Amino acid sequence: MTGLPHARTSNYDVDKVRGEFPVLARSFHGQRLVYLDSANTTQKPVAVIDALSHFYSHNNANIHRGVYELSVEATNAYEGVRSRVAKFIGAENAAEIVFVRGATEAINLVAQTWGRTNIKRGEEIVLTTLEHHSNIVPWQLLCEQTGAVLKVAPISKDGDVIVDEFAKLLGDRTRLVAVSHVSNAIGSENPVQKLIGMAHHHGAMVLVDGAQAVPHLRVDVRALDADFYVFSSHKMYGPMGVGVLYAKKDLLEAMPPYQGGGDMIASVTFEKTTYNIVPHKFEAGTPNVAGVVGLGAAIDYLETLGMDNITRHENDVVNHAVASLENMPGVSIIGTPGRRISVVSFMIDGVHPHDAGSILDREAIAIRAGHHCSQPLMDFYGVPATNRASFGLYNSREDVRRLCTGIKKVQEVFA
């Protein structure tokens, strides 16, 4: 099984969708751009670009600080997006949404606040082989600081977490499980609800890296029962420099501040500072207000298209890509997970991925070539890097055809 059950979406007009992304109208080397690097960053629709322009043209002011109308407008816009994010991911309360710079900062925030407060020497943090560096390095740093121990759950050659082996790593010393919802490198969708339940049975908290899930799947953090869930705006058609940490409110209230400065305080004297209520306790300084407004526009855009429609369309495209690549001589797919979301990594016999990526660029095809910030996973598969095609809501079967034609040209160069 190479993906979720799917059917071609008859009422999904991908050409119309593509037309809403100005950069996709560009041509390179005489051909229209085929953008297959959405797992890295997504392109931005006119609706998001216009929201940023409108904010800076009409509403620009700092938030939470001014009594004048312009500042009130900016504050209302910013806090309105907090409520929209909460609804979008099924959070119970807008106070459970903390705005940060991205999923990476959100993970570091949890590690350096909840982690340093609650994880002691000899206690254990469990990860999986699939993790992005952003969900590895912060925990390694925490282990160095506290004396905690890092455990890694193995995966099968298909690229799925081996649930029985994961279970064996859990015990009385397990304090935290940190797991990706979807692998950025090979597209595996983890059974996160099941893994969360197993971890909770042992009294452990769970952080889910949802950066590669939120743009593609309907996510409900309460149904998952995630303690922490993180994602980035720029991977879901919003601006760069904005991300979200969802955390259960009681956890946020018990956590110490991550940074000190303006807006995260209730009162300051040289003798003592008292802190603001959550989530403001974790948002020191002037935030990326325009970026948050742009994130709100991205959520509106996704909901207008419909997450179920997006999922069906993208499943059709990625499964068509897998089937097409499987039929190409000299091409091998890295990882065949039971549930694949949006991503396919592959090798071309006798061609380093960096060379393949450069040749495909001459055909106006943008893929990712490298280790995808997942070096332990590359080591598991015994490769230094892969070619990665990652699909978004604007990609089509025609893009897959262009990719396969480009791969044939790569093979001709190295024949």
Task: Tell me the catalytic residues.
Answer: 373
Strand partners, 243: 100, 232
Structure tokens at 132: 């992005």
Report the distance separating Cα 185 and Cα 202, nearest Å.
Answer: 29
Give CA torsion, residues 284, 290, 295, 298, to 10 deg: 180
Angle at Cα 128 formed by Cα 123 and Cα 133, nearest 5°? 95
Range list of H helices, 64-191: 69-89, 103-110, 116-118, 137-146, 163-169
How many Cβ atoms are within 10 Å of 102's Cβ, its own excluded?
A: 21
Report the distance separating Cα 291 and Cα 234, nearest Å.
Answer: 10
Check residue 188 and report its DSSP letter. Answer: B
Cβ–Cβ under 8 Å, residues 125 and 148: yes
DSSP 106-123: HHHHHIIIIIHHH--TT-
Report the distance separating Cα 119 and Cα 207, nearest Å.
Answer: 14
Q: Which residues of 293-305 are buried (b: 16+ CB within 10 A; e: fewer)?
A: bbbbbbbebbeeb
Burial of 389 (0-12, 13-18, 19+ CB in 10 A): buried
Report the distance separating Cα 72 and Cα 60, nearest Å.
Answer: 10
Question: Who contacts 331 (Cβ-Cβ below 8 Å, separation ≥6)?
Answer: 325, 346, 347, 348, 349, 407
Amino acid at 280: H
